[in-house]
Amino acid sequence: MSDRQTLAAHFLDANGWRNGTVTLLAGDASNRKYFRVRDVDGHPNAVLMDAPEDRGEDVRPFIDIANALIAQDLSAPQIYAQDIANGFLLLEDLGDDLFSTICARDGSQEPTLYQAATDVLIALHAAAPPQLETYTPTLMADLAAQSVDWYALGRETSKGSDKRAILKSAIEDALRPSADEFTVTILRDYHAQNLLWLPERNGPARVGLLDFQDAMIGHPTYDLVSLLQDARRDVSQQTQAATLDYFISESGFDPQHTRQAYTAMGIQRNLRILMVFARLSLHFGKMEYVDLIPRTWAHLQNNLAQPGFEALQDAVTQALPEPTETHLMELKEKCGTHPTR
């Protein structure tokens, strides 16, 4: 048994979950791992989060955001026990019915699920946000422009910094018209693999929420982009259109301005994801994320093709290569070879 396994066993024992059956559920793009704990007398199933501090993880943001969401009657998992120093949380088990799993099994459920997910956002935005940092246009532009360094391998060339500066300026210009609207809680990883269907609950609580520890204050359309422009699955065009219409109608926002903001957020987010996926391969050795780049690129191009984003489209074209087979192979061949962040 490894030192980490020993610590986990002691954590479970100390909190009354001794001798349960522990099985690996999943990891994610971070260094966290999740295990299901079952067959413990007197207890329901639970989920053990293993987030080692020595690998850059910190469970405190998850605790804070989970408590804030629960206070708003949203279905973040209850926290049964915590060991902040060692990076362990014992969480309510919300089951296995991920939106992605349900939609793969029965595509006819997609409209219902995505409207329910939108109801969560509307409820979230109606509540006073907790004390969080703001995902400002400047910060958003900086992160998205790092796609030059990682996805385009610009950190290996002398011209990378120039391209990055031009792209950053163009992104910030596109986000600036909505700058006064960065006022709501955004969960920032709001997609079908982080949402669970809980039909026995009522209203927005029917959607179980995962992976929200990076929440910030941001624009109301940001998480809607995460939901509809999913890097991991294709959301039907009908569902995308109907969900955006529903969000605008229920929120009472100006339709034209909201659609422009939604497109700007989509450009920024997909540029940032290109950076993240490339970095996961090049720095962290997670080659499998390269396979998600073509879908992300398609989302980016769909957004750039909308009226009013011609200057940003030119900047992207000049700064980033298309995800050809050759370029994707290069990202894979250099997997794990970039030791710095």
Q: Tens place of pLDDT for every residue, the chain, 341 residues? A: 578 889 999 999 999 888 888 899 865 656 789 999 998 877 889 999 999 888 778 999 999 999 999 999 999 999 999 999 999 999 999 999 999 999 999 999 999 999 999 999 999 999 999 999 999 999 999 999 999 999 998 766 656 788 999 999 999 999 999 999 999 999 999 999 999 999 999 999 999 999 999 999 999 999 999 999 999 999 999 999 999 999 999 999 999 999 999 999 999 999 999 999 999 999 989 999 999 999 999 999 999 999 999 999 999 999 999 999 999 999 999 998 887 65
Q: How far apart are CA 147 and CA 157, in angstroms?
A: 14
- The pTM of the full predicted model, rounded to 2 decimals, is 0.94
**CATH 3.90.1200.10 occupies which residues in the chain?**
99-333
Output the CA torsion sign for 84, 218, 188, 297. negative
Can you give the pLDDT at residue 162? 87
Q: Which of 280, 287, 271, 288 is nearest to 232 (CA)?
A: 288
Name the one residue in this structure whose structure tokens are 């595509």: 107
Can you give the pLDDT at residue 275? 96
Can you give the pLDDT at residue 4? 85
Residues near 87 by Cβ (< 8 Å), separated by ≥ 6? 50, 51, 52, 53, 57, 58, 59
Q: How far apart are CA 266 and CA 174, in angstroms?
A: 11
- For residue 89, the number of C-alpha atoms closer than 13 Å in the C-beta half-sphere is 22
**CATH 3.30.200.20 occupies which residues in the chain?**
3-92
Q: How far apart are CA 6 and CA 2, in angstroms?
A: 6
CATH, domain range 99-333: 3.90.1200.10
CATH, domain range 3-92: 3.30.200.20
Q: Tell me how crowded residue 62 is: count the other CB atoms within 10 A of its CB.
A: 25
Q: Tell me how crowded residue 317 is: count the other CB atoms within 10 A of its CB.
A: 12
Can you give the pLDDT at residue 17? 85
Here the contacts of 163-167 (C-beta below 8 Å, separation 24 or greater) are 163/318, 163/319, 164/319, 166/315, 166/318, 166/319, 167/271, 167/315, 167/316, 167/319, 167/320
Can you give the pLDDT at residue 325? 96
What single letter denotes the amino acid at residue 79? I
Instruction: Output the six-digit token pair for 292.
Output: 């998600």
Report whether 267 contacts 244 (CB < 8 A). Answer: no
Can you give the pLDDT at residue 2? 74
Q: How far apart are CA 256 and CA 236, in angstroms?
A: 22
Q: Tell me how crowded residue 72 is: count the other CB atoms within 10 A of its CB.
A: 17
